[in-house]
């Protein structure tokens, strides 16, 4: 029989530790995101709204880093790696191809040529990689792997299908004043 006195209480493989990490991560994400949501709702220009949206996109990443540092005192376990280039190319073709083929977004040869030009492509890629990194660090780097430790693969992925849209939804519904739409709530300025 081993004594638990003086033992390290953190076991990264323990389901109870994973639960605590997930709960702390979700609470931090909610708290940090609400700091960005409030000014975004009050934004009067598209530029300021964009700034606050980028702030809220980074909230899961910041929460994940804080959670990892709190529980592990390091940043191990995020699984950073680029992967094979062919799968990135397949993903880009599937996304853009499906949008163009279905007619959701029109194909604009001039705009596409400008988008993939040598001068614009590095800026476009760097900005989008920066903007998306926060959510990827949080959701894919911490939430899903930690939930898999106590829920299993299928249940953790199914649960993330409900958590992620709930977290992203406030950014997808811009305030009426920015779009100059009539305000749906009587008495509120639009």
Average pLDDT, the chain: 77
Q: Number of C-alpha atoms within 13 angstroms, CB side, residue 163?
A: 21
What domain range includes position 146?
Answer: 15-81+120-179
What digits encode the pLDDT tens for the residues 79-121?
Answer: 777 778 888 888 888 887 888 788 877 777 777 777 666 666 7
Confidence band for 170, pLDDT divided at 50, 70 and 90 = low
The answer to whether residue 95 is domain-embedded is no
Confidence band for 34, pLDDT divided at 50, 70 and 90 = confident
pLDDT (0 to 100) of residue 10? 60
Distances (CA, A) of 11 to 46, 52, 72: 46, 37, 9
DSSP H helices in 116-175: 121-135, 144-151, 153-172
Between residues 11 and 144, the one the model is more confident about? 144
The answer to whether residue 22 is domain-embedded is yes
The answer to whether residue 93 is domain-embedded is no
**Domains of the chain: total:** 1
């Amino acid at each position: 029989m081993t004594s638990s006195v003086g033992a390290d209480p953190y076991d990264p493989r323990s389901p109870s530790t994973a639960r605590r990490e997930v709960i702390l991560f979700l609470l931090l994400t909610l708290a940090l995101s609400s700091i960005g949501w409030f000014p975004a709702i009050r934004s009067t220009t598209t530029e300021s709204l964009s700034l606050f949206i980028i702030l809220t996109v980074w909230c899961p990443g910041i929460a994940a880093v804080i959670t990892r540092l709190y529980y592990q005192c390091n940043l191990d376990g995020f699984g950073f790696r680029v992967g094979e280039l062919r799968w990135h190319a397949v993903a880009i073709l599937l996304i853009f191809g499906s949008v163009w083929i279905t007619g959701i977004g029109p194909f604009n040869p001039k705009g596409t040529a400008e988008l993939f030009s040598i001068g614009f492509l590095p800026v476009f890629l760097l900005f989008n990689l920066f903007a998306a990194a926060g959510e990827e660090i949080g959701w894919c780097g911490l939430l899903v792997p930690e939930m898999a430790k106590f829920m299993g693969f299928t249940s953790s992925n199914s649960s993330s299908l409900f958590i992620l849209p709930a977290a992203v939804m406030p950014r997808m519904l811009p305030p009426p004043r920015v779009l100059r739409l009539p305000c749906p709530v009587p008495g509120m300025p639009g």
